[in-house]
Every structure is written in C-alpha cells, then in structure tokens.
Amino acid sequence: MARGLFRRYGYTEVRTPIFEEAELFVRSTGETSDIVRKEMFFFRDKGGRELALRPEGTAGVVRAYVEHGMYKLAQPVKMWYFGPMFRHERQQKGRYRQHTQIGAEVLGSDDPLVDVEVIALLYAIHRSAGVREEVIHLNNLGDAETRRRYIPELRAFLERHRSELDPDSVARIGTNPLRTFDSKDPNTQAVLREAPLIGEYLSEEAAAYLSAVREGLEALGIPHTLDERLVRGLDYYTSTVFEAKSPLLGAQDTVGAGGRYNRLVEELGGPDVPGIGFGTGVERILLAARGWEPETSLDAFFVTLSPEARLPALRLAEALRAEGFACELDYAGRSPKGQFRQADRLGASYAVVLGEEELSGGFCTVRDMRSGEERRVPVSEGPKELLRALAR
RNA sequence: GUGGCCGUAGCUCAGUUGGCAGAGCAUCGGAUUGUGGCUCCGAAGGUCGCGGGUUCGAAUCCCGUCGGUCACCCCA
C-alpha cells in the first residue's frame, strides 16, 4: 500500500541495519534527549564495540547518505524505509518497546515545496490506511538567528515564573527551554499561555519559509493548523516541524511526525546539506484507522462423510482454489453435523457434500447454505460442473 | 526511570474469616445412523504467571520475581 505511494512520489527504498554504533544515535538525536538518556537498547559485541538497536530511522538513512557519497548524485535524494524501531521504556496504549515505522527522508534541498510534498505524502499514507479526522500541526523552530533572539527571551520569562513550574520544566530552563511547552502539568500550561511565542521572533527568511509551506498545504487542501507550542523531542530538528494528530488515539495522539534537520548531515561527517523527513508508526495507524474488517468470505466448505471422501474432496477444493474460489475442508475430525456447523460459522456460501452415495454415483451434493436447497452436480469429468454451479 | 491497577479454563471474570478450583460465553458430542443457525442434555478443558516462605492445609497471607495494562516522562 505505502509502497505504491512511494513509487508515485518518486522515492526509492533503503534498508539500513537494525543496530548501529550507539554513537551515531547519540550524535544525531542529541545527548540530552530522553531517547539517548534512557530509551536505547544498548549492548557491546565481542570486540567491545558499543552498539544500539535503532530507536528511530533518520540517523541510519543519513549515515548511509554520507557513507555512500550520495551528495554527489543529482539532488534531492528521496528515500523511504520500513522496519522495526526499539525503545527501552514502559509501554502503554500506542507505545511499545518494539514498533514499526514507515519513514521518508529527502536530502539535498531546502525548497519549501519539498516540505509540502513530504507532509502530503505522510497525509496520503494515513488516508489510504483509513485514518480519519487527522490534522497536521505545523510549526517552525527557526534558523540560528531566530533562536539567538528567542531563546534568551523565553528563558528569562521562565525564570520569572520559576516557582509556578513543575520540577521537570524548571530543569529544562537551562538545558532546553523549548521543551517546557511539552509539559502536561496544568500550572505550567497556565504559565505558558503568557509565554512569548517563537512566531514573533522568526527571522524574515524563516517567516517567509513558514508561510510558503502553509500556502502549499492550503493549495493541496490538507487540513493543518499553526501550533506555535509544537516542539520536538529530538535535538536535530530545525526550521519546519510537524505532527499528524488523531483524536482517536488516547494519550499518545501523534500518528506520525517529522521535520527539517538542516544541520544533521554535516554533523554526521558529510557536507552542509539540508534534509527533511518523517516517521510514522504502523501500530498507531492501525489504532487510528477505524476497523475496516477484511470480511473473509468463503465460497465452499467441503463436508466429507467418510475417510474415503477426503482425498477426492481435497482434489476438488484444490481445483476450485486454482480458479479463484475460497474453499475449506474439515481438518478437525468433526461429525457431519459439526462440519455443517463449521461451514455456517465460516460463512460459506455452499456446502459441498461427499459421501458414499456421491462417490459411487460420481457426483457431489451442493447445498446452498442460504436457502437450504440441494442439487446433485456430476463431477466425473472433473470440477467443471461444480465450477459452474458455484459461479451462479 | 516513576506511579496506579491486573495475572485463575480458549475468552470475560467470580472465588467468603486460609478448608475438594467455579460460572457465562466459546469448543466437542448427543437429542436428529448423511445436513448449519434456535432449543435442550452432556463432555472435555486449569502448572491458579513463576520461585520461595508461613501453615496440618495457600488461588487466598508474607517476600521476591516475571509479564500485562493505564498514566507520567518521552515518543511513532
């Protein structure tokens, strides 16, 4: 499903290792991030190398980009991936120690329309998987100049209200004041309603970039909202950030999220190349997509009344399956009555009965499970007659 | 990493002051020698999460441990 979408958007699949040097994730995600501090599955191999199960997908893709010199290709390079991610943490609804992410990364362009495309792709994946009522929350964390002006203001504000904040938020004043916006503490939230917002401090370039992205989303009719309190827990984000939220999810309401990381390639040893990407959780998509049941329909259930009938029944079932019909047989040694019950339970359209009479007469009895009507269908020449009977 | 709740039959759960391990649903069979749904009758199914301890006796009390779940932190 997602594979087809990626093809249409021009992304090629990459497969990166499930575990890598721990240092890669520390450098990319940030030493102070919780992912690194407490959520990595960490281990040493026999040579003493420090490895970690990947907690997210971007770092591996960027490493591959640098390592394989993909910056020498025509830019941008558009890639996608699919696979398991690991976080060592207590689980709850919508959060697991191992989960599956679908992700995309675009490296080598800082065109705002790339941002729009990436968000549109995320939205399309969710739509086609059945996620409804989804809204894209959008923000811009600004460039270096923006932050140079904004962070001191925010920090000063938080200091003035230090006594009203929860302990976690107080601790962040020094390390990462932006993250105080993530607090769910009601008192902290109340204080932050008065806090200076980054929008007023955006540099001219950053502000223009943000409105270009918004115009693009507008043009595509993607429901979105500017959320100036949206910050992200990974340190590598710059400029555009976004989260796709669904009200159907509970405490973990983000289905997929991502943003720009214009400094990351260089930090991982490559040239100064901008990038953007998203990751989206398959398990959360399934939670947010309301039950679209596969509706298994069964065309025929074979009822065998004697052991001698089992092989002929199996042969007929195989022939019908080859023609595209869904067929089942009894493998539980049920009584005839039990086999009809099972046929009913499975929602079979027809029961095909094979017993002594049928075997010696060269026919089978086809029962319409809805009406109860029964007909004898000759099978001595093979399954052709039976096929016709079922296709009716 | 922090806190709450929960681990008993396939599923949902009862289980009294410690005294033979239960119900409903589901499964299988019978009532109907080869015919489903409804009804009735019956059968099968359990290391009571695991390991210690207390006791004549533990699903029940104590300690430990593992797992699940929800929330916090954080994140997909």
* Number of other residues whose CB lies within 10 A of the CB of residue A140: 27
Tokens 């099972």, located at residue: A342
> Is 50 exceeded by the pLDDT of residue A31?
yes
> What average pLDDT does range A324-329 have in this prediction?
92
pLDDT in tens, A58-90: 999 999 999 999 999 999 999 999 999 998 888
Angle, helices A144-160/A167-175, rounded to nearest 10 degrees: 140
Q: Rounded to whole angstroms, how far apart are CA atoms A123 and A244?
A: 8
Neighbour order of strands in the sheet with A98-107: A12-13, A77-86, A98-107, A275-281, A254-260, A238-245, A135-140, A224-226
> For residues A206-239, b (16+ Cβ closer than 10 Å) or e, as one string?
bbebbeebbebbeeeebebeebbbbbbebbbbbb
The alpha-carbon radius of gyration of chain A (Å, integer) is 29
The overall average pLDDT reported for chain A is 89
pLDDT in tens, A169-219: 888 888 788 888 888 788 888 888 888 998 889 999 999 999 999 999 999
Q: Model confidence at A148, in pLDDT bands (50, 70, 90)?
A: confident
**Distance, CA of A143 to C1' of B63, in Å:** 57
- Which bases of chain B come closer than 7 Å to a protein CB? 1-3, 27-30, 32, 34-37, 68-76
What is the model's pLDDT at position A392? 64
Amino acid at A234: L
Listed in order, strand segments (DSSP E) in chain A are: 12-13, 19-21, 42-44, 50-53, 77-86, 98-107, 135-140, 224-226, 238-245, 254-260, 275-281, 298-304, 327-329, 348-354, 363-368, 374-378
Q: Model confidence at A296, in pLDDT bands (50, 70, 90)?
A: low
**Distance, CA of A103 to C1' of B10, in Å:** 38
> Is 90 exceeded by the pLDDT of residue A389?
no
Under 8 Å between Cβ of A303 and A354: yes
pLDDT in tens, A348-367: 999 999 999 999 999 999 99
**Strand B, CB < 7 A, residues 96-135 of A:** 96, 99, 101
Q: Model confidence at A291, in pLDDT bands (50, 70, 90)?
A: low
Tokens 């997210």, located at residue: A56
What is the model's pLDDT at position A120? 96
What is the model's pLDDT at position A290? 61
**Strand B, CB < 7 A, residues 59-78 of A:** none
**Strand B, CB < 7 A, residues 290-329 of A:** 305
Q: Model confidence at A132, in pLDDT bands (50, 70, 90)?
A: confident
- What is the location of CATH 3.40.50.800 in chain A? 298-391
- What is the location of CATH 3.30.930.10 in chain A? 2-143+203-288
Per the model's pLDDT, the better-predicted residue between A240 and A168 turns out to be A240
> What average pLDDT does range A284-295 have in this prediction?
68
What percent of chain A has pLDDT above 70?
A: 97
> What average pLDDT does range A313-325 have in this prediction?
93
Based on the number of CB atoms within 10 Å of its own CB, is A15 exposed (0-12), middle (13-18) or buried (19 or more)?
exposed
Angle, helices A112-128/A204-220, rounded to nearest 10 degrees: 40
DSSP A381: T
Residue A353 beta carbon within 7 A of nucleic strand B: yes
Nearest nucleotide, CA A258 to C1': B76
> What average pLDDT does range A247-261 have in this prediction?
84
Q: Rounded to whole angstroms, how far apart are CA atoms A36 and A34?
A: 5
**Distance, CA of A96 to C1' of B48, in Å:** 28
What is the model's pLDDT at position A163? 86
CATH of A2-143+203-288, one of 3.30.1490.100, 3.40.190.10, 1.10.150.570, 3.30.930.10: 3.30.930.10
Domain A298-391 superfamily per CATH? Anticodon-binding domain (3.40.50.800)
Residue A40 beta carbon within 7 A of nucleic strand B: no
What is the model's pLDDT at position A293? 47
Nearest nucleotide, CA A91 to C1': B69
**Distance, CA of A147 to C1' of B16, in Å:** 66
Q: Model confidence at A295, in pLDDT bands (50, 70, 90)?
A: low
